[in-house]
A and B are shown apart, each in its own frame.
Chain A
Amino acid sequence: DGGITQSPKYLFRKEGQNVTLSCEQNLNHDAMYWYRQDPGQGLRLIYYSQIVNDFQKGDIAEGYSVSREKKESFPLTVTSAQKNPTAFYLCASDDGRRDRTNGYTFGSGTRLTVV
């Protein structure tokens, strides 16, 4: 079945470390997104990519970096510059239609905790 796979499900990071969250999709979708979710704050967009080798900052990109070297993959690195990285991270994709009539498909998330 087609879908989005996020790994790992749970991740623990020591302060000062960089960590990379994986997001892979086999839906042949052009666009991919990373969101951060904190209790009571809904979804906040970190980065998005419309096409391979291109990506744009979202609303809260500081302290994060991404790459899009393959259509299927959009990894997110949480750097040591991110002051409060403990959160639930969601990856999503869509087929790239400008009107977004099909909505997004989401992965199952990665919960990152700083220890």
Chain B
Amino acid sequence: AQSVTQLGSHVSVSEGALVLLRCNYSSSVPPYLFWYVQYPNQGLQLLLKYTTGATLVKGINGFEAEFKKSETSFHLTKPSAHMSDAAEYFCAVSGLSSGGYNKLIFGAGTRLAVHP
């Protein structure tokens, strides 16, 4: 079984500052990990994903995430926040398991605020 924990339901940063959104996962099989972004009254949009291969994954809008198996983490970062980054961010995990139907498991979300 898989689960996701996002540390911090709200994060506030200044424009130009580093963005760090934390995600820890639990999985009994090799995980596939995703970050989604949601702007107000919109659906979720895929930012980036890790499946196999390189552990540092680059996504859209300057975001990146690093898969750290030893820490069971997949934290999302951006070197310099922009006002347009204000949104809610969701981490999700999946993975191939024997039998059954595997769904994405989503974290509770982190709302990012960016102030001037």
Interface residues of A (CB under 8 A from B): 4, 6, 33, 40-43, 45, 48, 50, 88, 90, 92, 94, 98-109, 111
Rounded to whole angstroms, the CA-CA distance of A107 and B66 in the bound complex is: 27
Cross-chain pair count, CB within 8 angstroms: 63
Over the window 30-47 of chain B, the binary record of Cβ atoms lying under 8 Å from chain A Cβ atoms (1 yes, 0 no) is 001010100001111110
A106 pairs with B44, CB closer than 8 A: yes
Which B residues are in CB contact (< 8 Å) with A45?
103
Query: What are 9 A-B contacts defined by CB distance under 8 Å?
Result: A40-B108, A41-B108, A42-B109, A43-B109, A94-B104, A99-B94, A100-B94, A103-B94, A106-B43
Interface hub of B44, B95, B107 (most chain A Cβ within 10 A): B44
Interface hub of A101, A109, A111 (most chain B Cβ within 10 A): A101
A100 pairs with B44, CB closer than 8 A: no
Rounded to whole angstroms, the CA-CA distance of A104 and B38 in the bound complex is: 13
Question: Nearest Cβ distance between residue A52 and chain B, in whole angstroms?
Answer: 15
B106 pairs with A43, CB closer than 8 A: yes
- Beyond the given pairs A43-B106, A106-B36, A107-B43, 4 more chain A to chain B contacts, judged by CB atoms under 8 angstroms and listed by A's residue number, are A98-B101, A99-B32, A101-B32, A105-B46
B104 pairs with A103, CB closer than 8 A: yes
With A99-B96, A101-B32 as contacts: A108 and B103 at CB distance below 8 Å: no
Rounded to whole angstroms, the CA-CA distance of A41 and B96 in the bound complex is: 27
B49 pairs with A103, CB closer than 8 A: yes
3 closest pairs, A vs B, by CB?
A106-B43, A100-B94, A99-B96
B101 pairs with A103, CB closer than 8 A: no
Rounded to whole angstroms, the CA-CA distance of A103 and B45 in the bound complex is: 10
Question: Nearest Cβ distance between residue A71 and chain B, in whole angstroms?
Answer: 17
Chain A: CB-nearest residue to B108:
A42
B96 pairs with A109, CB closer than 8 A: no
